[in-house]
Structure 1
Amino acid sequence: MTALVWCPFPDRGSAEAAADRLLDRGLVACANIIGGMQSLFVWNGERGAADEVGVLFKTDAALLEEVVQAVAEAHPYDCPAVLGWPCTAATAGTAGWLSALTGAGRRGGPVQRSGWAAGAGD
């Protein structure tokens, strides 16, 4: 089964750094970086707003807790909003791709970087 982890970051640089770290460790197969997001929130009893960059990480459900923790550790905020959940529906191709990259038999070595990105697993 697959899993998703969502987290807003303060800027694209910190989002990319966290995504690179998790991809290189083989914890996630994909990180969708979504710019142009405004967050409205209450923090320490006060209303706030911030321009942020969201990241949706895709992984195997067996790694969900480890990915949530790794995102929190890679994040510049003291208390980042990191939310993870099992994904109960995915195409067979997507589920197979995620499992092949992050599933039980895959973990252990660094992931090779390539210039290929277009259409890479969504």
Structure 2
Amino acid sequence: MNTQFKLIFTTCKNEAEARMLGKALVEKKLAACVNILPAMSSIYMWEGEVKEMTEVKMLVKTKTEKMNDVFLTIKAMHSYEVPEIQVIDITTGNLAYFNWMDEVLH
């Protein structure tokens, strides 16, 4: 299988923001599915200081051809100045699931 499918990770400040962003991505047919994981603690460096806050993680399932539009949507709608956007190539998995993604993201 080629890498026509992507898994994009991002974090949001809370579940409400993640739901708003996730719904927009699915409604625009930029993502076949978005999973929102429960609150987690994040520790990171920002502007020279160690910060700690609660965030939620989003897993965005999409196709390679839609990836840049996903990036633009996240950046436009996100409350963070520098939102996390990390991409993993999906190289194998359930063919029936990928067929469903193809159908949804036509």
Answer whether TM exceeds 0.5 for this pair: yes
1:60 is the counterpart of 2:63: yes
Aligned partner of residue 29 in structure 2, secondary structure? coil
Give the strand-richer structure, 1 or 2: 2
**1:20 match:** 23
* Letter matched to residue 45 of structure 1: G
Runs of 4+ aligned residues of structure 1 deviating over 4 Å after TM superposition are none
5+ residue gaps, structure 2: none
Counterparts of 2:82 and 2:76, CA distance in 1? 10
**2:37 match:** 34
For 1:101-120, what aligned pairs fall within 5 Å after superposition? 101-102=104-105, 106=106
Contact in 2 for aligned 1:5/1:68 (Cα 8 Å): no
**1:43 match:** 46
Counterparts of 1:84 and 1:64, CA distance in 2? 9
Counterparts of 1:57 and 1:84, CA distance in 2? 9
TM-score in terms of structure 2 length = 0.90
Shift of 1:85: 2.9
Counterparts of 2:71 and 2:87, CA distance in 1? 6
TM-score in terms of structure 1 length = 0.79
